[in-house]
């Protein structure tokens, strides 16, 4: 078991510096343009593919880092460059992880390469889970998958929302209800192959922030997918549903808490994204405060500004430590007895919103204009307290974990 350390090893430092260089040289110069265009930055994704960042191999290497710090380190550096473009680069990973977690070896080998394409013809994938009436409340999901035994096909109907890459993806991974009586345990995931009839893009959202990341509804109208597109296969699904029915009668709360532990393990990655955005805004504000003069001296010499910067740096470092601790715990199998995953996501998300707002204040009128990036960073930071569970949901998870109440 890897011991917890705050020191990155030589390989990790090399990867960090490589990512930082890409973020500085490729992502940042393009950030303002793609934020204004509100379009997927295909040229930047292609550049990321050419150097090996936009690939399953890269994320697999970081995911299997025995210290657990590979993924949060990568997320922080990419999102330091720009949150919208970074999310366009890493968004396919959501669907890929869904297949890796639930798919057979054949499904993994068949579909994940189609999610990424190659450097000359990049593709993206979409993970479709949230619905208009089922965001945090996953048990309220309405999208249904019905098995047509005669044709060995699944028929999907419903509407998904807030889908990153939804509608423009080459491959969609769709979560649907197969047994409504089992709540979230009655869900299954399905691959919807390219050009499948009945799948269409609904509303494309014009967002407050992360504008370079495509977010849209996905409409499913009698979408038929072959039986082999059920992730894990039907035999495995039938066995899982049977176990869930038994457990629902004699230990349902334990099952729900086990499921919640899975969500806990993924939240530090979002915390790392927030740390990257907060760090970027802090660095702009620090540089500005050192060079901007008023009344004959740099504004950092004023205690009101200096103390703000001191608080910003302290909060960013504290957020990173919470993220690293939770990531290490998840990788080494240590239980989140106090909802450490939610703690890291909550604190980092709130820190990003606060730090980016303080950065605007330090830059004054300049910070309120689009000539400086902190205005965009502040808009981007708002998403961290919303997706992957709102801050209110994180506090609920933490509070119920501490009190011993069931997490529903």
Q: Give the residue numbers annotated as catalytic, written as ranges.
A: 388
- Residue 229 is given by DSSP the state G
Picking from 214, 285, 268, 286, the residue whose alpha carbon sits closest to that of residue 384 is 268
Distance CA 101, CA 56 (A): 14
* 3-class SS of residue 225: strand
Residue 179, token pair as written in the block: 């047994």
Alpha carbon separation from 384 to 76, 92, 193, 379 (Å, rounded): 13, 18, 30, 10
Cα–Cα distance for residue pair 5/9, rounded to 1 Å: 10
| 407, 339 Cβ separation under 8 angstroms | no
Dihedrals phi, psi of 337, to nearest 5 degrees: -70, -20
> How far apart, in whole angstroms, are the C-alpha atoms of residue 358 and residue 362?
6
Q: Which is it for strands 171-177 and 125-128: parallel, antiparallel or unpaired?
A: parallel
Token readout for 285 is 């504000």
Q: Name the CA dihedral angle for 98, 351, 320, 100, rounded to a multiple of 10 degrees.
A: 0
Evaluated on CA atoms 52, 55, 59, 60, the torsion sign reads: negative
Q: 307 is written with which tokens?
A: 């103390």
Q: Tokens representing 211?
A: 């504008």
Q: CA 186, 191, 193 angle in degrees (round to 5)?
A: 155
Greatest CA separation found in the chain?
82
With 0-12 / 13-18 / 19 or more C-beta atoms within 10 angstroms meaning exposed / middle / buried, residue 177 is buried
């Amino acid at each position: 078991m890897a011991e917890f350390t705050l020191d990155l090893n030589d390989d990790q430092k090399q990867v960090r510096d490589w990512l930082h260089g890409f973020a500085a040289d490729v992502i940042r110069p393009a950030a303002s343009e793609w934020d204004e265009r509100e379009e997927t930055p295909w040229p930047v994704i292609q550049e990321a593919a050419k150097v090996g960042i936009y690939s399953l191999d890269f994320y697999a290497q970081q995911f299997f880092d025995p210290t657990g710090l590979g993924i949060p380190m990568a997320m922080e550096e990419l999102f330091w460059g720009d949150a919208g473009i970074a999310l366009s680069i890493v968004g396919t990973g959501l669907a890929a992880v869904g297949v890796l977690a639930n798919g057979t070896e054949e499904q993994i080998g068949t579909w994940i390469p189609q999610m990424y394409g190659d450097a000359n013809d990049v593709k993206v994938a979409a993970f479709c889970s949230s619905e208009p009436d089922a965001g945090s409340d996953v048990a309220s999901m309405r999208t249904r998958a019905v098995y047509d035994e005669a044709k060995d096909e699944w028929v999907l109907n419903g509407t998904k929302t807030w889908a990153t890459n939804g509608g423009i993806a080459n491959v969609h991974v769709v979560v649907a209800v197969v047994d409504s009586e089992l709540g979230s345990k009655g869900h299954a995931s399905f691959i919807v192959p390219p050009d499948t009839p009945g799948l269409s893009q609904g509303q494309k959202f014009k967002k407050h922030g992360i504008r370079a990341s495509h977010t849209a509804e996905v409409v499913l109208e009698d979408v038929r997918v072959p039986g082999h597109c059920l992730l894990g296969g039907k035999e495995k699904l039938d066995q899982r549903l049977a176990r869930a029915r038994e457990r629902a009668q004699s230990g349902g709360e334990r099952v729900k808490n086990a499921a919640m532990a899975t969500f806990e393990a993924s939240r530090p990655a979002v915390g790392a994204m927030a740390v990257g955005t907060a760090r970027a805004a802090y660095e702009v504000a620090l540089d500005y405060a050192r060079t901007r003069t008023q009344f004959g001296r740099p504004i950092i010499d004023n205690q009101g500004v200096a103390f703000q910067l001191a608080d910003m740096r302290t909060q960013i470092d504290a957020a990173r430590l919470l993220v690293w601790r939770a990531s290490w715990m998840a990788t080494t199998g240590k239980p989140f007895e106090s909802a450490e995953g939610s703690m890291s996501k909550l604190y980092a998300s709130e820190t990003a919103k606060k730090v980016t707002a303080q950065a605007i204040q330090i830059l004054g009128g300049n910070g309120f204009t689009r000539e400086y990036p902190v205005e965009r960073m502040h808009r981007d930071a708002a998403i961290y307290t919303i997706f992957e569970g709102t801050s209110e949901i994180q506090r609920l998870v933490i509070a119920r974990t501490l009190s011993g109440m069931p997490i529903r």
